[in-house]
Structure 1
Amino acid sequence: MDLNLKNRTAIITGGATGLGKAFVHALAREGVNICFTWMSEEENPQQLVESIRARYPVSIIAVKTDLADEQSRENLMASCITSGRKGSILNITSQAAFHGSTTGHAHYAASKAGLVAFSISLAREVARQNINVNNIAVGIMDTAMIRKNLERDPDYYVSRIPVGRVSQPEEIADIGVFMVSPKASYMTGATLDVTGGMLMR
């Protein structure tokens, strides 16, 4: 299926690692020009830039960004020159936004629930500007952030997932690519559950 994404531009926050990096690859495969943020030298953004340039005929830049800093955010937007265009916003939330935390991380669950409400509100505000805003709710994903815990006690995590396995970032990114494509332009204010059955509604 042609998702009609070729030559569009995507801004991906946290694009040097984990799910963000998977989004960089998935969107580049569709011919999307990429602007992604990074924070730490350990993330090696230049290696990702070179890898994408070698594989796909797209433009890609990495912008060091502290999203908590207003000037840094303004620099990001200036570097990516995307203003005045219709498009999509996709936020990453968690099944914890709906189930709550089971591991003593109430603050994490609360922030993810807040993101859902924020996305719904923003979707209402910008719908007339042809901007749709949606969420993906993820479950347990094999990224560096959680890998040590998975290796230490895999049964604890896998037993909570009805499909019986932890997700890979790439399969989440593939769904996300569809959600930001024109094929999903009539969907806004929605949260799509991609949790292997941890979240069923």
Structure 2
Amino acid sequence: MARVAFVTGGTRGIGRAICERLKNDGMAVAAGYSGNEAAAEACARELGVMVVKGNVGNFDDCKRAVDLVAAELGPIDILVNNAGITRDGVFHRMNSEQWSDVIRVNMDSVFNMTRQVIEGMREREWGRVINISSINGQKGQMGQTNYSAAKAGVIGFTKALALENAKKGVTVNCIAPGYIDTEMVQAVPEKVLESIISQIPVGRLGRGEEIADMVAFLAGEHAGYVTGSTLSLNGGQLMAG
């Protein structure tokens, strides 16, 4: 039987690229989304994946989503915690909503989703949890204390959960992308984007497909000896920063 994968934030950008790759690798794939119906419909139609609407910041929504996927595709073997938002602003002007929204969607969601599937993975003695962090969770970023804190928290979560589940055949790993050529990054003003690219040693933005390639490896049968790792895909920017 095909492995079942659930990708949060899976209908656009990096998430969609991950869904496409896992689907092409023969997995049964479900993509989570929060509100963009047009993108969800296009993802379902063009990739042939299941789409599930819900708020990853809400524990009950996550339970409902996982139950729906299990009923249609089977128990989830591979969870990719990819959903995330930004609410940027310098800390001395940041309000509590900007802080809480980002922590809830980027950090609490990792608990909310993983908690739904971890017991089943342990019982079946096979599972893959892949968390998408960020270069800014590794090095920090001005105007992103909320985002950087959440993404750094994801790295710590990954290491601890990996230790707890290593002997149960469940691996837990983290990918920390740099700047990837998505709609969100393309919306950055041209001069700012040029400045960002100038700081990347390979001289370009990353591609969603490159993140998807790494997810596919970690999700596969040959990655059982990789756990607790944070893999940096940033074109060398972390070294240069």
Query: TM class, shorter-chain normalised?
Result: 0.7 to 0.9
Q: Which runs of no fewer than 5 residues in structure 1 stay unpaired?
A: 1-5, 54-59
Greater helix content: 2
Q: Does 2:69 align with 1:80?
A: yes
Q: Identify which of 114, 133, 137 aligns with 1:93.
A: 133
Deviation at 1:43, TM superposition (A): 4.7
Q: Does 2:52 align with 1:70?
A: no
Q: Which runs of no fewer than 5 residues in structure 2 stay unpaired?
A: 76-119
Deviations 1:104-147 (A, max 9, x none): 21221111111100110111112222110000111011111121
Query: Aligned residue for 2:150?
Result: 111
CA distance in 1, matches of 2:227, 2:13: 25
Residues 182/27 of structure 1: CA separation in 2 closer, same or farther (3 Å cut): same
Superposed CA RMSD: 1.7
Deviations 1:72-109 (A, max 9, x none): 111111112213431101101111122111x3212211
Deviation at 1:152, TM superposition (A): 4.4
Alignment-mate amino acid for residue 52 of structure 1: L
Alignment-mate amino acid for residue 119 of structure 1: T
TM-score by structure 1 length? 0.88
CA distance in 1, matches of 2:200, 2:40: 32
CA distance in 2, matches of 1:28, 1:79: 18
Could you tell me whether the CA contact under 8 Å between 1:150 and 1:157 is conserved in 2? Answer: no
* Residue correspondence of structure 1 range 121-136 to structure 2 within 5 A: 121-136=160-175
Greater mean deviation of Cα atoms: 169-178 or 42-51: 42-51
TM-score by structure 2 length? 0.74
Q: Does 2:11 align with 1:11?
A: no
Could you tell me whether the CA contact under 8 Å between 1:38 and 1:64 is conserved in 2? Answer: yes
Query: Aligned residue for 1:120?
Result: 159
Query: Aligned residue for 1:35?
Result: 30
Query: Aligned residue for 1:52?
Result: 47
Query: Aligned residue for 2:182?
Result: 143
- Report % sequence identity: 32
Could you tell me whether the CA contact under 8 Å between 1:16 and 1:43 is conserved in 2? Answer: no
CA distance in 2, matches of 1:143, 1:71: 30
Q: Larger relative contact order (C-alpha < 8 A, sep ≥ 6)?
A: 1
Question: For 1:189, what is the secondary structure of its paired residue?
Answer: coil
